[in-house]
């Protein structure tokens, strides 16, 4: 498979998981967290799909399309691990959906980062909240959910906070 085809499949899988998560949290109040702004495509999709929700974004350095940059009061700028304690203090455990898009191309480093972030993310994610991750993460507080049809297992991970 070409790198282009792989990229397209990854984006299709990500969109399917985001849309499934939006349906799963339809009756669950709470904010949304986006880890990894990139150029803002996912953030833009979340804004369109989850209108009325507060969406907070975590990013090391903003380099997104100008139309896809969150307001300053919804942006946690800097290293994820440094930003998470501030987010816990500010937001509490009121997150209905967290999207961890932290893959960097270095598989081992990406998995270490996701595992290091998970305890703090769980402090933000309310009971019944949904976690989408591009990295495998496991915790007894999480229940694995079936992926949307057509998504290859291991490409994305969809879980609910118990």
What is the mean pLDDT of the segment spanning 69-89? Answer: 97
Distances (CA, A) of 37 to 41, 97, 117: 8, 15, 16
Place of tokens 């990500």: 14
Strand order in the sheet with 95-100: 75-77, 55-59, 31-35, 95-100, 125-133, 157-161, 142-144
What pLDDT band is residue 97 in, cutting at 50, 70 and 90? very high
Domain that holds residue 90: 3-161
Burial 84-99 (b: 16+ CB within 10 A, else e): beebeeebeeebbbbb
pLDDT tens digit sequence for 35-78 = 999 999 999 999 999 999 999 999 999 999 999 999 999 999 99
Total structural domains within the chain: 1
What pLDDT band is residue 120 in, cutting at 50, 70 and 90? very high
The mean of the pLDDT values for the chain is 96
Cα–Cα distance measured from residue 9 to residue 41, given in angstroms and rounded to the nearest whole number: 15
> What pLDDT is attached to residue 104?
84
Residue 105 has pLDDT above 90, yes or no: no
CATH of the domain at 35: 3.40.50.150
Residue 31 has pLDDT above 90, yes or no: yes
What pLDDT band is residue 134 in, cutting at 50, 70 and 90? very high
Do 100 and 134 form a contact (C-beta atoms < 8 A)? yes
């Amino acid at each position: 498979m070409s790198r282009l085809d792989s990229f397209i499949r990854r984006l299709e899988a990500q969109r399917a998981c985001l849309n499934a998560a939006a349906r799963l949290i339809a009756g669950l109040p709470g904010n949304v967290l986006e880890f990894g702004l990139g150029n803002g495509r996912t953030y833009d999709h979340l804004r369109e799909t989850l209108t009325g929700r507060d969406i907070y974004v975590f990013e090391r350095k903003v380099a997104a399309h100008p139309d896809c940059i969150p307001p300053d009061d919804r942006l946690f700028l800097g290293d994820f691990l440094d930003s998470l304690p501030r987010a816990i203090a500010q937001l509490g455990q009121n997150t209905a959906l967290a999207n961890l898009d932290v893959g960097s191309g270095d598989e081992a480093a990406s998995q270490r980062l996701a595992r290091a972030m998970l305890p703090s993310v769980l402090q933000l994610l309310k009971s019944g909240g949904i976690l989408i991750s591009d990295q495998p993460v496991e915790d007894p507080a999480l229940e694995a959910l079936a992926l949307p049809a057509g998504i290859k297992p291991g490409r994305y991970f969809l879980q609910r906070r118990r």
